A and B are shown apart, each in its own frame.
Chain A
């Protein structure tokens, strides 16, 4: 299991290259990558603030739950903070399991929980000023299916 909270970019290919390798019980690997997008056409950057100390701990708790529930062989969570440009990778999760259903479900569970239970806050920097991204009711509702 790997959990990293970092300002630096990560190398998705390198992270996945050795993931789940050398294990005879891994039949499925799923990965998700979050990317900074610009819906308004006026955005210049996305700034991510986090709560050092709590972030690592909250993510580790979420990963522990996923590993137990889906009997995962391995998990990667990398989440960046700081100022990111349009098109930059924000975060990734990867899950390794015996079967694909477990790997897909666990990746979705991790994403739903990281969105609403990991202490990150996004602020959009645009040509017309800055604004904090508000959490959506649908993000909170997404947790109920688990």
Chain B
């Protein structure tokens, strides 16, 4: 079981801030592929991965990264702090 978090317009498009996902996905890309098949709102949120960033256990990471041992995955648009 992995905690999946969504922020900013990704959260709005999917319609929830976080959820628990039962998955055997080996990489972030595999997890995204699973989520996209769920419902159109997931497909809409993940349509363009170049517009998204991912953090694994609260560290910025990549879509081809392994999910081995990861407890928390977060998807969000490029950050706009400062």
Contact = CB atoms under 8 A, between A and B. Distances in A.
Interface of A: 34, 49, 51, 53-54, 57-58, 79, 90-91, 111, 114-123, 132-135, 139-140
Nearest to B55: A54
Contact of A120 (B9, B58, B74, B81): B81
10 contacts: A49-B8, A53-B58, A91-B81, A115-B82, A119-B55, A120-B82, A121-B79, A132-B9, A132-B77, A134-B80
Chain B contact-residue range equals 10 to 19
Nearest to B53: A119
A77 to B, nearest CB: 10
Given A34-B82, A132-B8, A121 B58 contact: no
B81 A51 contact: no
A122 B82 CA distance: 10
Given A58-B58, A115-B82, 6 more contacts: A34-B82, A51-B58, A115-B80, A120-B80, A121-B80, A135-B77
Nearest to A132: B9
A34 B77 CA distance: 21
A121 B60 contact: no
- Of B60, B74, B77, B79, the most chain A CB neighbours within 10 A belong to B79
Q: Which 5 A-B residue pairs are closest in the complex by CB-CB distance?
A: A135-B78, A120-B81, A115-B82, A121-B8, A54-B58
A139 B76 CA distance: 17
B3 to A, nearest CB: 11
Contacts of A119: 7, 55, 74, 76, 79, 81
Contacts of A79: 81
A133 B77 CA distance: 10
B5 interface: yes
A86 B55 CA distance: 31
Interface in B29-82: 55, 58-60, 74, 76-82
Given A51-B74, A53-B58, A116 B79 contact: yes
Given A51-B58, A53-B58, A115 B81 contact: yes
